[in-house]
Amino acid sequence: SLSRQRLVGTDSVAAAIAAYIALIPIAGYLITTPVFLGGVLLVSRAIRPVTAIVVAITVTAAIWVIFIWLLRLPIPLLPMSS
């Protein structure tokens, strides 16, 4: 049923968010973020695959500029960096 599909979708997104949070310190922001964003967009089929890739890269870059470059937050950029 439709409500079952929504529940499974919500659980999948929650699992993806948990994995994203757990993987940032290990894989780094620059790897984890575009993979997460692109994956969620591709799985949800919200937009075409090429657009999902462009959006994932663009949003990753925008977040990098705001939070890491401008605000200078200590987010690990690359695998195992601190």
Convert the pLDDT of each residue in 29-63 to its tens digit.
899 999 999 988 888 887 899 999 999 999 999 99
Average pLDDT, the chain: 85
Q: What is the number of other CB atoms lying within 10 angstroms of the CB of residue 40?
A: 17
Axis-axis angle for helices 29-44, 49-63 (nearest 10): 140
Residues of the chain with pLDDT > 90: what percent? 46
pLDDT at 9 (0 to 100): 67
| pLDDT category of residue 10 using cuts at 50, 70 and 90 | confident
pLDDT at 74 (0 to 100): 85
